[in-house]
Amino acid sequence: MSPLRLFIEGCAQINAIPHDTAEYLFDLLGKFALCTFRKNIAVGYALSAYRKAYLKAHYPAEFLSAVLTHNAVTDPNQLAQTIVECQRTKKDTDAG
């Protein structure tokens, strides 16, 4: 099945987007993808996101400790947001 057909069917079934609008969006996204985002970059980001999600799900304390250490050195402004995420994660693991 072609990517266009999958996209249009998904738009119709999941979000109730009309066929014409879905085609327009697909064309718009295609043009954007051609000029800004190459597949090799997408693969790199996807692998990085997958690995981070895996580590966060299976080793939350170690993952967040590494994030805190990294943010303390490279971006102190992100520390507050990371601490809130640590507190939220602790509540999630205590409840489960």
Cα distances (Å, whole numbers) of residue 64 to 17, 29, 40, 69, 74: 39, 34, 28, 8, 15
- Supply the pTM of this predicted model: 0.51
CA dihedral 57, 10, 44, 63 (to 10 degrees): -10
Q: Which pLDDT score, from 0 to 100, does residue 35 have?
A: 66
Give the separation between CA 46 and CA 62, rounded to whole angstroms. Answer: 21
Confidence of residue 52 (pLDDT cuts 50, 70, 90): very high
Q: Tens of pLDDT along 79-94?
A: 888 888 888 877 665 5
Q: Which domain holds residue 57?
A: 39-95
Same domain, 16 and 60: no
Same domain, 43 and 11: no
Same domain, 30 and 45: no
